[in-house]
Structure 1
Amino acid sequence: MSPFLFSCQFMSVNLLIYSYYLIRDSVQDFLQAMNIGSAQPSIKVPHLLDLTVDIPTIETQKKIVGILKSLDDKIELNLKMNETLEEMAMTLYKHWFVDFGPFQDGEFVESELGMIPEGWECIEIGEAVSVLGGGTPKTSVKEYWENGDINWFSPTDLTTQKSLFISKSSKKITKLGLEKSSAKLFPPYCVMMTSRATIGEISINREEACTNQGFITLIPNETFTMYQLYFWLKTNMDLILSIANGSTFKEVSKTNFKKLKILKPKNIEEFTQKCEKLFKLIESNLIEIEELTNIKDYLLPRLLSGEIDVSQAEKQVEEVL
């Protein structure tokens, strides 16, 4: 058995958790510097055994672990709550737009999508809402990127966060970069879907944004809300994937996408109001997750280094939990 693994067996639970936080968040740079190997970089056990760190008293370890774990637990709780809230919203959508539950006592008519409530229409998504693509400013022109303040999303942003709402992009472009590319600026609360390589990741921007060319973005309006558009994409993903083509990688073209059919509804105010409440709860939880993550990122290195007093950190965390 490795001496490193053997020694772990005799650590207290608190020390193990403390070590987890220490290695994961505080000594990453050191470990990266120790990373040796070319084809398959790796860290050898002997190098880990040579790692020297300051370990506080057991009591201090317990307090630090308690602070960090309480933040992690709250973040995890919010994520689980959001999963449940989104499932509730999806059930609500299916009740109104798939099963037509509220309209069962009324008349139904034939359409390209089957029987639908009288007064509803079946139209192309390209006629229903504005459908935008994206673009990428030349990466060699620093004026397009340096000190940029415009959110510019790539599919990686969505695949990394996997969240109904998304606030910030990992890269930003300048106004000049926007003007000199085919990227299109759109307002908050539009529905973005990745349409190239990784197809079907969906998220709603909380701030003004644009995307690269690997997206199709739907701009909601009074008739077609972001709630209907979001779940329409979710429930029609198999159909969307079926129209993807390409040899190097699959892509859904805007031309083909715009021909897909969507229902133009009537008398869905109740659906919109109920869905709005659920989405606001989800967004509120996500905002809290961002705040808790920022607090954790601030406290963690300072707690581990002893720069900040543990009691002071406990009070700060108590105020936000």
Structure 2
Amino acid sequence: MQSDASWKELDLGDVIELKRGYDLPKGKRSVGVVPIVSSSGISDFHSEAMVKGPGVVTGRYGTIGQVFYIDSDFWPLNTTLYVRDFKGSDPRFISYFLRTLDFQAYSDKGAVPGVNRNHLHRAKVRVPALPVQKAIARVLDTLDSKIGLNRRINQTLEAMAQAIFKSWFVDFDPVKAKITAIEQGEAPLRAAMRAISGKTDAELDQMPREHHDQLASTAALFPDAMEESELGDIPKGWTHGVLGDVCSFTAGSAFKPEHQGSTEGDYPFIKVSDMNLAGNEVFIQSANNYVSKAQQSEMKAKLHPLGATVFAKIGVALISNRRRLLTTPTIIDNNLMSASPVEGKSGAYFLHSMLSTIDFNTLVSGTALPYLNVSDLKKIPIVRPPHDVGCAFERKASSIFSMMQALAEQSSTLADTRDNLLPKLLSGEVDLSETPEG
């Protein structure tokens, strides 16, 4: 336990000053690089900043309890509270410290919860001296920095997978490369190999024989001609259809408050907010709530299978177009929906990649509360490749998604470590008072 001399009992208002964020109607927003921070995080970017960074923001109305640290200048919306004055405290430490506050205790408990900053200012807190604050922040920030690096790597890997999908199944690059090669009197197979791999002829010649032959086998799967269809020109021998041909859609289940709160159980029960957890950027690795098999049976909640892609089906969460892959049988709440591949017609990675190319915002019904209609989803026109081409993509994508999942698992473990360490550091149970700076 750290010595009491380095810690003080204060009102939160003696440590920091919170202030309500600012209005910024959508009609007055201009595209820029300044983060717009809402009660649920960075929601958009604007050309002007209202507050100098670094900053700390939390929800004032709607989503409360989440805390966001912003490195750069930013614009906090009026649904938030931001720290206007750190009063000599370390901003990064404050971002971690506020996560330990019970915001619900200062909520008005209305249908849409809200927090009064004056009530928060009166909260009794215990904080260390600045050197200890900085030491605590360094330890926790090291974990968050690695989580952030993993997230950026996974964004790059996911972009790679999407680029391959688009090249094969939207732009038909291997097919068009063969057509052009034939017109120019060149070898069509070689041209398709270049289109698929991005390599020059010299680089293809230097490939290990096994990899060269695998690439040639993949290239051979693509035809060397296009043909007309209802969807325009598509590769010869491919078919057109609708999304409902290759997947089945399943709605989520009601998640009553009395079933929430357990961090252990047989099945994760995820909500839209779980998509924001560290490690859940592509795969659902963890959840805030779990239920037992007995509870799942009692609730008659549907299990959504491993390999299904989940996404928001109602409300403002639709705007972000987020897709997540399930890594275990999972229950999802009724603001979510899943799409599961039909065996023999689609693989999990093919379906996830296809869904990621579709802007669901173009399909929403309702104005006050936008929602997705399953019948509209099923009717989305698609181009269907032959089974062997789809399998070739699944094999190629599998190595990329496996790397993403390994990094996601690591991030989830790091987040657990951080969250378990956080209360110990902020209570003084773990002593950092003698930790040197730097």
Q: TM-score, normalised by structure 1?
A: 0.75
Q: Does 1:71 align with 2:146?
A: no
Determine the structure 2 residue equivalent to 1:318.
Answer: none
Determine the structure 1 residue equivalent to 2:161.
Answer: 89
CA contact (8 A) 1:18 1:64 kept: no
CA-atom RMSD in angstroms: 3.9
Determine the structure 2 residue equivalent to 1:110.
Answer: 228
1:213-258 deviation line (CA, Å, top 9, x unaligned): 3333221234412222122222121xx4333323652222222222
- Matches of 1:242 and 1:34, distance apart in 2: 39
CA contact (8 A) 1:191 1:204 kept: yes
Bigger mean CA deviation after superposition, 270-279 or 106-115: 270-279
**Structure 1 unaligned runs (5+)?**
315-321
**How far off its partner does 1:54 sit?**
3.5
1:152-181 deviation line (CA, Å, top 9, x unaligned): 333333367772111234334454554466
Determine the structure 2 residue equivalent to 1:279.
Answer: 401
- Matches of 1:45 and 1:170, distance apart in 2: 25
- Matches of 2:120 and 2:296, distance apart in 1: 48
> What one-letter code is carried by the residue in structure 1 that aligns with 2:145?
D
SS in 2 for 1:152: strand
> What one-letter code is carried by the residue in structure 2 that aligns with 1:191?
T
Q: Does 1:218 align with 2:339?
A: yes
CA contact (8 A) 1:78 1:286 kept: yes
Q: Does 1:190 align with 2:262?
A: no
1:36-65 deviation line (CA, Å, top 9, x unaligned): 9x98611379758x8553438x4x655444
Determine the structure 2 residue equivalent to 1:319.
Answer: none
Residue 269 of structure 2: which of 152, 157, 178 is its match?
Answer: 152
SS in 1 for 2:90: helix
Q: Does 1:308 align with 2:430?
A: yes
Distance 1:148 1:79, change over 3 A: closer
Distance 1:135 1:51, change over 3 A: closer
**How far off its partner does 1:204 sit?**
0.9
**How far off its partner does 1:100 sit?**
0.9
- Matches of 1:135 and 1:3, distance apart in 2: 43
CA contact (8 A) 1:129 1:219 kept: yes
1:1-321 correspondence to structure 2 within 5 Å? 11=88, 16-17=90-91, 19-20=93-94, 23-26=97-100, 28-29=101-102, 41-43=116-118, 47=122, 53-55=127-129, 58=131, 63-104=135-176, 105=178, 106-136=224-254, 139=256, 149-158=266-275, 163-175=281-293, 178-179=296-297, 183-197=301-315, 198-199=317-318, 200-220=321-341, 221-237=343-359, 240-246=360-366, 248-266=368-386, 267-310=389-432
Bigger mean CA deviation after superposition, 300-309 or 94-103: 300-309
SS in 2 for 1:53: strand
SS in 1 for 2:338: strand
**Structure 2 unaligned runs (5+)?**
1-13, 18-83, 179-223
- Matches of 1:23 and 1:208, distance apart in 2: 35
CA contact (8 A) 2:285 2:412 kept: no
Higher strand share: 2
Distance 1:18 1:195, change over 3 A: closer
Bigger mean CA deviation after superposition, 301-310 or 145-154: 145-154
Q: TM-score, normalised by structure 2?
A: 0.57
SS in 1 for 2:313: strand
> What one-letter code is carried by the residue in structure 2 that aligns with 1:257?
L
> What one-letter code is carried by the residue in structure 1 that aligns with 2:366?
G
- Matches of 1:153 and 1:189, distance apart in 2: 15
> What one-letter code is carried by the residue in structure 1 that aligns with 2:240?
C
**How far off its partner does 1:96 sit?**
0.8
> What one-letter code is carried by the residue in structure 1 that aligns with 2:422?
L
Paired positions, count: 299
CA contact (8 A) 2:247 2:340 kept: yes
> What one-letter code is carried by the residue in structure 1 that aligns with 2:338?
T
Distance 1:143 1:289, change over 3 A: closer
SS in 1 for 2:334: coil
Distance 1:136 1:73, change over 3 A: same
Distance 1:130 1:42, change over 3 A: same
**Structure with more relative contact order (C-alpha pairs < 8 Å, separation 6 or more):** 1
SS in 1 for 2:322: strand
> What one-letter code is carried by the residue in structure 1 that aligns with 2:241?
I
